[in-house]
């Protein structure tokens, strides 16, 4: 038994070591696109005091992601950028493995997801601010027993990057709907109902920032923006029906179809895929045709992503 556990731990360590090595190699090749300005800011921000550094950060990146700012301001003077974010990538992979283990996902599914998934590679190498939001989200998912701490970390993930509000919107919508139905049917007040005004106040306080971001994403929406989201919805509906969670699939995707109109299909597709995984990974421990097909599809996109980095210095050629 101890030998088996040691082998399992060694295998997981090998996955994490592979993520770290890939992060070092690809991170040194990813020098263009958004990473150009990220690197300039990382290498310069330590020269300033806290107030000056924050002003420099917001002017350079036109953003107010406080957690990302504090991390790079603290560590940039001591750790080279590629090394620092390679450690963060490895931490992210560790949390994913821990969470997948907690819901008993097949280790082969976990391995292919961590090492080949296109959306993870986007977070590993391109969307470094959004990555911090997902790290906090995954940390929250790993906390099973301490509910207050878990919810606090989820809230902190939304502060890490505004897009995490959209990521969590389907779950918040589901909880709100269930709480309202419980209140109507049983006349029983759920504590989450009391938290709803807090959410709206928070959104109101950052409304100007949200509008600025939404305007930046504004583009002509066509039917093609919905195609992949529809595919993820149908897959989610299929497996949710097998698990007796059909209503969950409908409720989860309702806010996503609306969100496409505001931020476009590319960003929402990733969220739709995550909600598909939230169902698909529970069916046969994730070892099923839906997860397999999406894994193969995203592995192909990862190859193109890496090829673009080799050719252009960024992943979106």
Per-residue confidence band for 219, with pLDDT thresholds at 50, 70 and 90? low
Same domain, 190 and 146: no
| C-alpha to C-alpha distance for 317 and 266, rounded to whole angstroms | 15
Read off the pLDDT of residues 149-184 as tens digits, 9 standing for 90 and up.
Answer: 888 898 899 888 878 888 888 877 777 776 666 666
Residue 212 has a pLDDT of 58
**Span 33-44, mean pLDDT?**
95
Torsion of CA 270, 272, 273, 279, to 10 degrees: 150
Regarding whether 199 and 142 lie in a shared domain, the answer is: no
Predicted pLDDT of residue 155: 86
User: 107 and 206: one domain?
Assistant: no
**Residue 112 included in any domain:** yes
| Whether 150 and 192 share a structural domain | no
Query: How far is the CA of 281 from the CAs of 178, 267, 291, 298, in angstroms?
Result: 23, 21, 7, 16
pLDDT for 174-215, tens place per residue?
777 766 666 666 655 555 555 555 555 555 555 455 555 555
pTM: 0.87
pLDDT band of residue 12 (cuts 50, 70, 90) is very high
Report d(CA 24, CA 260) in Å as an integer. Answer: 34
Same domain, 126 and 197: no
User: What is the average pLDDT value for the chain, to the nearest integer?
Assistant: 87
Mean pLDDT in residue range 215-231: 72
Residue 261 has pLDDT above 90, yes or no: no
Mean pLDDT confidence for 107-128: 96
Confidence at residue 176, expressed as pLDDT on a 0 to 100 scale:
72
Is residue 248 one of the residues assigned to a domain? yes
C-alpha span between 233 and 241 (Å, rounded): 12
Instruction: Say yes or no: 113 and 167 in one domain.
Output: no
| CA neighbours closer than 13 Å in the CB half-sphere of residue 4 | 1
Whole-angstrom distance, CA of residue 236 vs CA of residue 252: 10
Crossing angle for the helix pair 147-160 and 163-186, to the nearest 10 degrees: 140
65 has a pLDDT exceeding 90: no
At residue 112, the pLDDT reads: 97
Instruction: Establish if 78 belongs to a structural domain.
Output: yes
pLDDT of residue 106: 96
């Amino acid at each position: 038994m101890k030998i088996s556990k040691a082998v399992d731990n060694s295998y997981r360590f090998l996955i994490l070591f592979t993520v770290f090595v890939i992060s070092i190699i690809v991170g040194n090749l990813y020098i263009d696109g958004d990473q150009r300005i990220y690197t300039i800011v990382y290498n310069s921000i330590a020269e300033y005091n806290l107030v000056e550094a924050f002003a420099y950060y917001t002017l350079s990146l036109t953003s107010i992601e406080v957690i990302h700012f504090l991390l790079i301001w603290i560590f940039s003077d001591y750790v080279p950028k590629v090394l620092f974010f390679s450690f963060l990538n490895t931490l992210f992979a560790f949390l994913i493995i821990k969470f997948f283990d907690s819901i008993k996902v097949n280790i082969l599914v976990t391995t292919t997801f961590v090492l080949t998934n296109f959306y993870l590679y986007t977070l590993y190498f391109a969307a470094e601010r959004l990555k911090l939001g997902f790290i906090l989200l995954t940390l929250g998912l790993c906390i099973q027993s301490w509910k207050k701490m878990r919810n606090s970390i989820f809230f902190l993930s939304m502060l890490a990057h505004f897009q995490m509000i959209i990521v969590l919107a389907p779950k918040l919508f589901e909880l709100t709907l269930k709480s309202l139905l419980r209140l109507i049917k049983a006349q029983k007040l759920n504590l989450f109902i009391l938290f709803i005004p807090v959410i709206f106040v928070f959104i109101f306080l950052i409304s100007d920032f949200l509008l600025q971001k939404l305007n930046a994403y504004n583009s002509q929406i066509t039917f093609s923006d919905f195609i992949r989201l529809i595919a993820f919805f149908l897959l989610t509906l299929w497996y949710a029906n097998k698990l007796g969670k059909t209503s969950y699939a409908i409720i989860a995707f309702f806010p996503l179809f609306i969100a496409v109109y505001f931020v476009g299909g590319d960003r929402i597709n990733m969220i739709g895929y995550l909600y598909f995984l939230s169902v698909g990974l529970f069916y046969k421990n994730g070892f099923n045709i839906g997860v397999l097909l999406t894994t193969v599809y995203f592995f192909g996109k990862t190859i193109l992503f890496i090829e673009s980095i080799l050719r252009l210095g960024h992943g979106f050629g």
